Chain A
């Protein structure tokens, strides 16, 4: 239920857009994400804005294509329409829409809760808390009988034939309703093992040494060249949970990995710019609109658009404030990463 309240809040946020804006956002999202996979793979998930940012960064690293603006629109759209509040579990039962058959079992969480009671009374000792089996009973997550089941269609007949229970109650005496509840509970356990499920999240990442982190920050990492614990990083640990904070210093680009410039001015994030000097000696600096082996285009501070073919003599210089973080990726030990996080966590 809490999940739905969380979703409602985000739905309301999403409603701030006009229907035309929303349609445009959806179109952009479909273009950017639908180029590689069915969009339902994304919309089946519920993530916080930071998690969606992570997801998009991952997709960019895997080859997702779009302009900075398109990625920004996609992030806004997914966060608003398919969001969840931090600290609340992901919705959707974890079952991504694209997986498995169209007529798959859809878990009713309320029925699954009723099934849990039956499970605890009759099944848990042999099949385990998560239905993954014990020395006394089979792993039901991997059971073909379970995977073929719909609302008790195979579990029911199996139990009717007779199966040991904890209480000694004859399994054939379960009512249809009880079998359905049990079926919902077991399918919910299967869904828990899928990517995007409510239990699919980062655990404790605070394992480092804050003092060692401080030393790295001021020493080998050269972080203090650009950052200050009382300046830009003041109270940073109050803004982000530890896993998000870890992701932020590993790659602080607004859109995560790749060679992208981030979104214009959002949250005061430093901008990637490029400076183009033409063969005639004219120099223009601005945010890259696109940059490939053959062409380059930018918008300057006034919003004016410039484009050039990359002919010999045309000089392109990238001014990338994040490049030090890229270099650090090749240098960090895992201990460095954990220590830096432990240190940043002291900056509440």
Chain B
């Protein structure tokens, strides 16, 4: 308690100085975007409505900021506090003035390797920024000048782990996941002391010893200890229940699965953890015994709303496997399971709401035609939920490919197969009624595409198409109302904020951050 009080005192001071009081994550103000998802719920919804369906046609360019060449491009979500955007990409971090796009400082990390495929962005707590590096470090910087305070090892590069996910701050915890599924290693989530970087707890996505919860879903200790379940998504959090919602990656070996009979808990699942201890409260497995690299590391979006006439605390997940799930987030009980694009890999739905995989549609030596393909019906780019429309919006792809087993050994390792060829039959934004799981409207992109989304109280959903257009859709009907060609594809979700009475909409594409406003 003393610690919490101290923290509160120190951060109230920082907040006055442009730093971020963690209490503001609970109740974000319009002049901030204090956390990856905008708030703890993961709904990526803004109450701002100055830019709305009536006037968005006049929205225009406010500023641009260019990063220069960065391996992996710009895929992160900036954090806004004190009029400054804090941003990261593989091996780099920046502070950028949120009104003008002018760069205030840049930090370069000397990399020792790792996969530089992308970075989802930083977290900010008080006057300190935190981000992960591809070479497995978590780094804390002073937000005033970008100087390094400390760095700690978050994973072992020799085991081909790497860092890409944005950390999340919950009180005195900096919580960060791990990436990497080339070797058979366990996924985990770690909590660090914000001040010192000392490890507070670590939760393993797969049981490390026989007898632990979930160990009966693996054939032996070797299989489960190395069973994957990377934590590549930014968790969400319910402060009232004090539960952290974490989605986990695919099991290992990824495609060839002869040595991991069983459901392989807690891979391809959404789990609820106590953020103070890392202890598991409940789980729901989106893809039991996943064999298609689909994982379930999509954003677990928290919805407070009505279900069957009663107010309920819920969690919605549009999973990479093509299914939409609505759960009671206090218990994990399944309320709705539906397909948001047609799929062909499950032979039914179990009583607990989990799809039952069809063994014939698991990868085969001679090939099996499967939909979705490895890219998934959706992927990591964030969906959005608007409490105003009651709709859950997700970028969706309908694609088929042929899944092959390459490693026919009875003890396969690594991937042991992959999918090849096939075709993308269409990309869209799907608007799902959370109460039924039914698609209310679907906007098919002429040019493909798959981006992160954001919804606003202005009855807008912001999205990117496959041709590099940044698009504002009518949140109620899906009709495109405004667009601008940014010349490169958009992956992460846009953000919005209001400074000095002007509402800005900020998005990254390629090597550039773009801000739009009504000027």
- Given the known interface contacts A250-B421, A329-B369, the answer about A103 and B375 at a Cβ–Cβ threshold of 8 Å is no
Most buried by B among A57, A144, A148, A329: A329
Question: B418: CB under 8 A from chain A?
Answer: yes
Inter-subunit contact B510/A35 (CB<8 Å)? yes
Inter-subunit contact A61/B375 (CB<8 Å)? yes
Inter-subunit contact B446/A291 (CB<8 Å)? yes
Interchain CB contact (< 8 A) of B73 among A36, A61, A247, A290: A36
Bound Cα distance A337, B403 (Å): 13
Could you say which of B25-33, B100-108, B112-120, B124-132 contacts chain A? Answer: B112-120
Inter-subunit contact B182/A99 (CB<8 Å)? yes
Inter-subunit contact A101/B114 (CB<8 Å)? yes
Interchain CB contact (< 8 A) of A139 among B222, B422, B445: B222
* Mask of B222-236 contacts with A, CB within 8 angstroms, 1/0: 100010000000000
* Mask of B377-409 contacts with A, CB within 8 angstroms, 1/0: 000000000000000000001011110111111
Chain B residues in 8 Å Cβ range of A54: 420-421
Inter-subunit contact A61/B413 (CB<8 Å)? no
Question: B368: CB under 8 A from chain A?
Answer: yes
Question: A326: CB under 8 A from chain B?
Answer: yes
Inter-subunit contact A132/B409 (CB<8 Å)? yes
Chain B residues in 8 Å Cβ range of A203: 365-366, 404-406, 408
Question: A18: CB under 8 A from chain B?
Answer: no
Question: A62: CB under 8 A from chain B?
Answer: yes
Inter-subunit contact B446/A293 (CB<8 Å)? yes
Question: A133: CB under 8 A from chain B?
Answer: yes
* Mask of B355-375 contacts with A, CB within 8 angstroms, 1/0: 000001000111111010111
Bound Cα distance A61, B421 (Å): 9
Most buried by A among B114, B397, B424, B466: B424
Interface size class, chain A: 35 or more
Question: A204: CB under 8 A from chain B?
Answer: yes
Chain B residues in 8 Å Cβ range of A132: 409, 411, 413
Q: How far is the CB of B57 from chain A (nearest CB, A)?
A: 13
* Shortest Cβ distance from B420 into A: residue: A54
Question: A24: CB under 8 A from chain B?
Answer: no
Residues 190 to 232 of chain A near chain B (Cβ within 8 Å): 190, 193-195, 199-207
Bound Cα distance A329, B373 (Å): 12
Chain A residues in 8 Å Cβ range of B216: none
Chain B residues in 8 Å Cβ range of A35: 73, 488-489, 510
Inter-subunit contact B469/A293 (CB<8 Å)? yes
* Shortest Cβ distance from A291 into B: residue: B446
Bound Cα distance A294, B489 (Å): 16
Bound Cα distance A267, B158 (Å): 45
Question: A123: CB under 8 A from chain B?
Answer: no
Residues 279 to 324 of chain B near chain A (Cβ within 8 Å): none
Interchain CB contact (< 8 A) of A100 among B160, B465, B488: B160
Interchain CB contact (< 8 A) of B425 among A194, A205, A329: A329
Q: How far is the CB of A347 from chain B (nearest CB, A)?
A: 19
Interchain CB contact (< 8 A) of A60 among B182, B416, B419, B424: B424
Bound Cα distance A99, B73 (Å): 17
Chain B residues in 8 Å Cβ range of A325: 423
Chain A residues in 8 Å Cβ range of B375: 58, 61-63
Inter-subunit contact B71/A38 (CB<8 Å)? yes
Chain A residues in 8 Å Cβ range of B420: 54, 58, 202, 243, 247
Most buried by B among A54, A60, A194, A202: A202
Chain B residues in 8 Å Cβ range of A202: 367, 404, 406, 420
* Shortest Cβ distance from B376 into A: residue: A62
Question: A124: CB under 8 A from chain B?
Answer: no
Bound Cα distance A139, B375 (Å): 31
Chain A residues in 8 Å Cβ range of B418: 195, 200
Inter-subunit contact B72/A292 (CB<8 Å)? no
- Given the known interface contacts A195-B182, A195-B414, A293-B483, the answer about A337 and B402 at a Cβ–Cβ threshold of 8 Å is yes
How many residues on B have C-beta within 8 angstroms of the other chain's C-beta atoms?
A: 76
- Given the known interface contacts A62-B375, A142-B226, the answer about A257 and B423 at a Cβ–Cβ threshold of 8 Å is yes
Question: B196: CB under 8 A from chain A?
Answer: no
Chain A residues in 8 Å Cβ range of B222: 139, 142
Inter-subunit contact B421/A62 (CB<8 Å)? no
Q: How far is the CB of B447 from chain A (nearest CB, A)?
A: 4
Question: A263: CB under 8 A from chain B?
Answer: no
Residues 120 to 152 of chain A near chain B (Cβ within 8 Å): 130, 132-133, 139, 141-142, 144, 147-148
Chain B residues in 8 Å Cβ range of A293: 445-447, 465, 469, 471, 480, 483
Question: A246: CB under 8 A from chain B?
Answer: yes
Inter-subunit contact A102/B111 (CB<8 Å)? yes
Inter-subunit contact A147/B183 (CB<8 Å)? yes
Chain A residues in 8 Å Cβ range of B115: 38, 41, 98-99
Question: A253: CB under 8 A from chain B?
Answer: yes
Q: How far is the CB of A286 from chain B (nearest CB, A)?
A: 17
Bound Cα distance A128, B400 (Å): 37
Interchain CB contact (< 8 A) of B413 among A141, A258, A292, A294: A141
Point out residues on A near B: beta carbons under 8 Å.
Answer: 34-38, 41, 54, 57-58, 60-63, 65, 96, 98-104, 130, 132-133, 139, 141-142, 144, 147-148, 190, 193-195, 199-207, 243, 246-247, 250-251, 253, 256-259, 290-294, 325-326, 329-330, 332, 334, 337-338
Q: Please list the 6 inter-chain residue pairs (A to B) with the smallest Cβ-Cβ separation, ordered nearest first.
A: A193-B414, A292-B467, A62-B375, A102-B113, A292-B447, A257-B423
Other 19 A-B pairs with CB < 8 A, given A194-B414, A204-B366: A41-B115, A58-B401, A61-B401, A62-B374, A102-B111, A139-B222, A141-B413, A142-B413, A205-B366, A247-B402, A256-B421, A257-B399, A258-B424, A293-B447, A293-B465, A293-B471, A329-B422, A334-B364, A337-B367
